[in-house]
Amino acid sequence: MSWPVLSVKDLTITYNSSAGLVPAVRGVSFDLAVGESLGLAGESGCGKSTLANSLLRLLPEGTVTSGEVTIDGQDLFALSPGGLRAVRWTTGAIVFQGALHALNPVQTAGRQVREPMHVHETVASDDEARVRSRQLFERVGLSANLLEAYPHQLSGGQRQRVLIAMALACDPQLLIADEPTTALDLMVQAQVLALIAELREESSLSLIFITHDLSVLTCVADRLAIMYAGRIVEQGPSMDVFQNATHPYTKALAAAFPTIGDPASRKAPSGLAGDPPTPGALPSGCPFHPRCPLAEDRCRTIEPDLRSSGQGREAACVLI
């Protein structure tokens, strides 16, 4: 029997905060096949990182979840602490944004790359771990000399590559990259994106890549899922969604990028007024209606479900 690396069904995540229950993710479903890449996009506060963290059960204590997450055929929410430890790093690994905060400042980069190999006993000895960490550094474009460097001695791009090497240390099937290039300058961002694309090409690594930048996702993702107010509001093949968005929110995100060589689009970039709603105070009906240029009266009372909007595509809008 074969199954997707990751299957998410009707996932709902609610934070239990001092202000009350805060629904951060609402009824999200998707499958990720072996070697497939899914890009999650949307503005800050739309639930992307909460969703990413939930896929390895990295949510704060007291967070309420419902629905199903199956990773490599295992029910994530039913795993014992030991089972969960076995899944992290070896089946699924995560690359966080802001590598300086994600790395231990008092340990060398090499030691941090070797640690998961020892914890998960994927190597027989420290010598083997050292050989593998050198190979991983070479693979992510870092000199082996930097294995003995501390995080503060590395540039932002080098630190992000160390995080990728760490995530690959136990040869996972699934890599979750949460805004891994957001803090990098454009040149380094392009290098890291090229590296991730190469890693996918040379292995059957499945990837979830999160960003607010749709143009980045067209480089690394086979499919796009656009999130707004904790839900997926549009999904489909990445270039198709980017170039022919159907949901008004996706259209606004895609239009926010000026067309290179077109002075008119540079002088009058298309923006979207306002901010996404706070998860604890969602408007009635379609949560996008206060910002939507196409909103109708019925949008204030109906929250549309995803429905087919073309070949392999879905969108949640009353106009579709």
CB of 44 to ligand SF4, least distance (A): 19
Distance CA 301, CA 283 (A): 9
Comparing CB distances to ligand SF4, the nearer of 188 and 318 is 318
CB of 235 to ligand SF4, least distance (A): 15
* 319 is a contact residue toward ligand SF4 (CB under 6 A): yes
* 295 is a contact residue toward ligand SF4 (CB under 6 A): yes
CB of 225 to ligand SF4, least distance (A): 16
* 317 is a contact residue toward ligand SF4 (CB under 6 A): yes
* 299 is a contact residue toward ligand SF4 (CB under 6 A): yes
* 227 is a contact residue toward ligand SF4 (CB under 6 A): no
Comparing CB distances to ligand SF4, the nearer of 138 and 296 is 296
Comparing CB distances to ligand SF4, the nearer of 23 and 248 is 248
* 242 is a contact residue toward ligand SF4 (CB under 6 A): no
CB of 14 to ligand SF4, least distance (A): 23
Distance CA 15, CA 194 (A): 35
Comparing CB distances to ligand SF4, the nearer of 75 and 296 is 296
CB of 315 to ligand SF4, least distance (A): 8
CB of 233 to ligand SF4, least distance (A): 7
* Residue 189, strand partner residues: none
Task: Provide the mask over 253-292, with x wherever binding to ligand SF4 is found by CB under 6 A and - wherever it is not.
Answer: ---------------------------------x-xx--x
Comparing CB distances to ligand SF4, the nearer of 192 and 224 is 224
CB of 228 to ligand SF4, least distance (A): 9
Distance CA 146, CA 110 (A): 8
Distance CA 289, CA 50 (A): 23
Distance CA 27, CA 305 (A): 10
| C-beta contacts of 143-150 below 8 A and 24+ residues apart | 146/109, 147/108, 147/109, 147/110, 147/113, 148/108, 148/109, 148/110, 149/108, 149/109, 150/105, 150/106, 150/107, 150/108, 150/109
* 301 is a contact residue toward ligand SF4 (CB under 6 A): no
Comparing CB distances to ligand SF4, the nearer of 202 and 297 is 297
* 100 is a contact residue toward ligand SF4 (CB under 6 A): no
> Phi/psi zone of residue 171: left (φ > 0), alpha (ψ -120 to 50 degrees), beta?
left
* 89 is a contact residue toward ligand SF4 (CB under 6 A): no
The contact set with ligand SF4 (CB under 6 A) reads: 247-248, 286, 288-289, 292, 294-296, 299, 304, 317-319
